[in-house]
A and B are shown apart, each in its own frame.
Chain A
């Protein structure tokens, strides 16, 4: 059995949403670090889905469809979804995050300054200017009219593919790639989180746009997993549960 025996029954209950109390908290801690139990959980959710899927009953009232279509017509929405967030939006958020880090660092440094009675006006002024600079970067990146212009060498070969993954164990993952080659028909790139222990975890399937750019924003990942590296393989466009060699791109943190 691939799942840990001591958690087998709890995983089944969890798949139904029927586990509670300390047993639930204990299992969630285990799931965060156990890929085989997470796979079993998904499988059990699929088994439970059979119960829902096999439910039969009368058809929905005819008025329901017109009610739905009326509601949709009255609710114009932006065409871009969370999966369609573009590079600039991602960079904007990254810059905003950077600002927060700078602000927290400044606050801590200021606290330290106060506690040690170091009254360095010049130091504070220098830090204030840095914060202002970071804010300016964020303002530009997040401006509604911000447009990207790729400025590349005229006579040199195309730059190599590159990707940046920004990962927080608690908050999630942003992945931004550029200069990717197109993938063959019915294939896609798949991003993998390589944990410090256990098997690679799928972290999103994507195809580059016509510029070779791609983003993956907050793919579904188990919480709290420590990442050793991120890797990219080429997979069928519906994605795979285990990576198909070769790894085409890979990078470690630091």
Chain B
């Protein structure tokens, strides 16, 4: 059963579909939560919360606007950062839309993406990688990163954008 059919079954209250979806994507969700929070107990709580939200609001995932796996990864990152920064949720599930070109349906595809992204991060300067990871995994704003690193705001902005562009370029390379 594909992801869209699973989500449709969840809309109808099918608990087996929920279990199947958990088996498929809990490793992604837990890994992201643990990467952000660095604490297994807190990461497990976020894992529970994300799947409970999907159970309560399966309609929040819009299959026409992206694939399920990266969407789950992003909402997990967003929630984990909120927990890390001790703030209320900054975005609703329905607000999270993204465009991802590669098809993430299979484990093999994911393995390829992981390798490509790791290569792209390794190819960046440590300052650039650091700025990108502080923003994405630690939830710092650009002005906070500037204050922490002592680098000008403009430099931080340029590093983050060019970092994302490098990721895009590398992943688009077949």
Which residues of A come within 8 Å of B, CB atoms?
Answer: 8-10, 12-13, 15-21, 39, 42-61, 64-65, 67-69, 71-73, 75-77, 79, 81-84, 202, 205, 220, 237-239
- Contact for A52 among B15, B27, B77, B145, CB less than 8 A: B77
Q: Is B122's CB within 8 Å of the partner chain A?
A: no
Q: Is the CB of B64 within 8 A of A65?
A: no
Contact A79 B34 (CB under 8 A): no
**Residues of A contacting B: mostly:** helix
Q: If A19-B141, A84-B59 touch, does A64 touch B48 (CB 8 Å cutoff)?
A: yes
In the bound complex, do residue B58 and residue A81 qualify as a contact, i.e. CB atoms below 8 Å apart? yes
Decide if B31 touches A55 in the complex (CB within 8 Å). Answer: yes
What A residues does B77 contact at CB under 8 A? 52
- B57 near A81 with CB under 8 A, answer yes
Say whether B63 faces chain A, with CB atoms less than 8 Å apart.
Answer: yes
**A48 to B133, alpha carbons, bound, how many Å?**
10
CB within 8 Å of A: which B104-138 residues: 104, 110, 113-114, 116-118, 132-133, 135-137
B83 CB within 8 Å of chain A: no
B74 within 8 A of A: yes
Residue in contact with A60 in the complex, picked from B47, B65, B158, B161, CB distance below 8 Å: B47
Kindly name the residue among A39, A59, A64, A82 whose own CB sees the greatest number of chain B CB atoms within 10 A. A64
**Distance in angstroms between the alpha carbons of A207 and B10 in the assembled complex:** 19
Kindly provide the distance from the CB of B79 to the nearest chain A CB, expressed in whole angstroms: 11
Residues of B at the A interface (CB closer than 8 Å) are: 11-13, 15, 18-19, 22-23, 26-32, 34-35, 40, 44, 47-48, 51-52, 55-59, 62-66, 69-71, 73-74, 76-78, 81, 90, 94-101, 104, 110, 113-114, 116-118, 132-133, 135-137, 139-143, 145, 157-158, 160-161, 164-165, 167-168, 171
Contact B65 A239 (CB under 8 A): yes
- CB nearest neighbor in B for A81: B59
In the assembly, what is the distance between CA of A58 and CA of B29, in Å? Answer: 11
Q: What is the distance, in angstroms, from B22's C-beta to the closest C-beta of chain A?
A: 6
**B99 and A45 contact, CB distance less than 8 A:** yes
Q: Which residues of chain A have C-beta atoms less than 8 A from B90's C-beta?
A: 17
Contact status A56-B31, CB under 8 Å: yes
A-B contact pairs, 24 of them (CB 8 A): A9-B161, A18-B142, A45-B98, A46-B101, A47-B165, A49-B71, A49-B100, A51-B133, A52-B73, A53-B117, A54-B117, A55-B35, A57-B34, A59-B27, A61-B40, A65-B22, A72-B55, A75-B55, A79-B11, A81-B57, A81-B58, A81-B59, A82-B57, A83-B59
Nearest-neighbour CB distance to chain B for A231, whole angstroms, equals: 17
Q: Which residues of B contact A56 (CB under 8 A)?
A: 31, 114
- Docked-complex contact B19 and A60, CB < 8 angstroms: no
